[in-house]
């Protein structure tokens, strides 16, 4: 899913590791029994099963929260994610290394971390599993969480309560946030725009959060970094930003123009469900992950008999 993670795995000695983008599908498949019960994720299904029913992904609403969060989401710019690192950095030396790599990646957002580590002269240590684990923890704090802080601060300063946050740890940055809740995930389509500031773990714009927003009919507006061009295609210029000021400009242009938002959402979904469809991604994954054996190849190409 992430080229940086695949590269790290290779450096650590793991074999048969390759990168492919996360694929997307617009449907949920379910089986309905005679009593009307619907089975999701409970047993294997195939396209030939009788009674197979397709639902739009948005039909999967998930757990019901303790309150109706629609008024907190509708018409707002929203972001769901934690504002604190999963773990604090281990040592000052590793933190300094992570900060150096973070500076390089902010200067060139298209880089993934292993490429940036090489630029910073850290190719040697990156082959040490213990060092890499500690580095990744530190990097999440000084790069991923710091990105979230600076973007969220810029948007709250510009839009006030029209920018709504959900997640833990935002109080340490002086930002009020709603508690973690599954509710807003089923309401992405109600928001004016759904923000993404990057993953804590992956150096790619194509990861579960961004694809879930699109599958639930949300208008995704994202920090521009590795794989953004692949994710956004022809609407990248209108739906991505490089810094806080550009994020404010992008959202201000969308705020009072529902027709433009609808046009961009439609164009983006068309692009994603074509270019990142499972039907496109899976054959490449199978070709890279399960290459035919030489014996199979020789049998398949022998036309002498």
User: Does any domain span residue 153?
Assistant: yes
User: Does any domain span residue 248?
Assistant: yes
Say whether 165 sits in a helix, a strand or coil. Answer: strand
- CATH number of the domain at 174, please: 3.40.50.2000
Taking the C-alpha atoms of residue 223 and residue 130, their distance in angstroms, rounded to an integer, is 30
**What ranges make up the beta strands (E) of 121-257?**
163-166, 193-196, 220-223, 240-241
Taking the C-alpha atoms of residue 152 and residue 173, their distance in angstroms, rounded to an integer, is 10
User: Does any domain span residue 290?
Assistant: no
User: Does any domain span residue 305?
Assistant: no
Q: Which helix (H) or strand (E) segment is 289 a member of?
A: helix 278-289
Taking the C-alpha atoms of residue 263 and residue 240, their distance in angstroms, rounded to an integer, is 16
Taking the C-alpha atoms of residue 72 and residue 234, their distance in angstroms, rounded to an integer, is 31
User: Does any domain span residue 243?
Assistant: yes
**What ranges make up the beta strands (E) of 182-261?**
193-196, 220-223, 240-241
Structural domain range at position 197: 66-97+137-276
User: Does any domain span residue 28?
Assistant: no
User: Does any domain span residue 88?
Assistant: yes
What is the number of structural domains in the chain?
1
User: Does any domain span residue 120?
Assistant: no
Please report, in tens digits, the pLDDT of each residue of the chain (305 residues total): 677 778 888 888 887 777 778 888 888 777 777 777 776 655 666 667 777 788 888 777 666 556 789 999 999 999 999 999 888 776 789 999 999 999 999 999 988 889 999 999 998 898 899 999 899 999 999 999 999 999 999 999 999 999 999 999 999 999 999 999 989 999 999 999 999 999 998 889 999 999 999 999 999 999 999 999 999 999 999 999 999 999 999 999 999 999 999 999 999 999 999 999 988 888 877 876 666 655 544 444 433 32
Tell me the whole-structure pTM to 2 decimals. Answer: 0.85
């Amino acid at each position: 899913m992430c080229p940086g993670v695949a590269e790290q795995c290779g450096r650590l000695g793991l074999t048969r590791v390759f990168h492919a983008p996360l694929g997307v599908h617009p449907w949920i498949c379910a089986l309905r029994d005679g009593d009307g019960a619907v089975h999701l994720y409970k047993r294997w299904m195939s396209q030939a099963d009788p009674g197979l029913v397709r639902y739009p992904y948005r039909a999967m609403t998930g757990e019901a929260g303790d309150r109706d969060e629609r008024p907190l989401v509708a018409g707002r710019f929203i972001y769901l994610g934690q504002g604190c690192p999963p773990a604090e950095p281990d040592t000052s030396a590793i933190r300094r290394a992570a900060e150096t790599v973070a500076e390089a990646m902010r200067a060139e957002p298209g880089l993934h971390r292993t490429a940036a580590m090489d630029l910073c002269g850290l190719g040697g240590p990156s082959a040490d599993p213990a060092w890499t684990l500690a580095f990744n923890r530190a990097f999440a704090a000084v790069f991923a969480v710091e990105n979230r802080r600076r973007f969220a601060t810029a948007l709250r300063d510009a839009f006030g309560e029209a920018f709504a946050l959900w997640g833990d740890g935002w109080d340490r940055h002086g930002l009020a946030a709603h508690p973690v809740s599954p509710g807003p995930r089923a309401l992405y389509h109600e928001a004016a725009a759904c923000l993404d500031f990057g993953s804590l773990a992956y150096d790619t714009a194509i990861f579960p959060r961004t694809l879930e927003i699109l599958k639930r009919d949300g208008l995704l507006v994202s920090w521009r970094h590795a794989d953004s061009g692949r994710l956004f295609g022809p609407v990248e210029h209108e739906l991505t930003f490089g810094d806080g000021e550009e994020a404010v400009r992008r959202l201000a242009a969308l705020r009072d123009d529902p027709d433009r938002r609808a046009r961009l959402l439609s164009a983006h979904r068309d692009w994603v469900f074509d270019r990142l469809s499972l039907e496109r991604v899976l054959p490449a994954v199978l070709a890279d992950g399960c290459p035919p054996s030489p014996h199979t190849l020789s049998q398949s190409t022998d036309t002498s008999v």
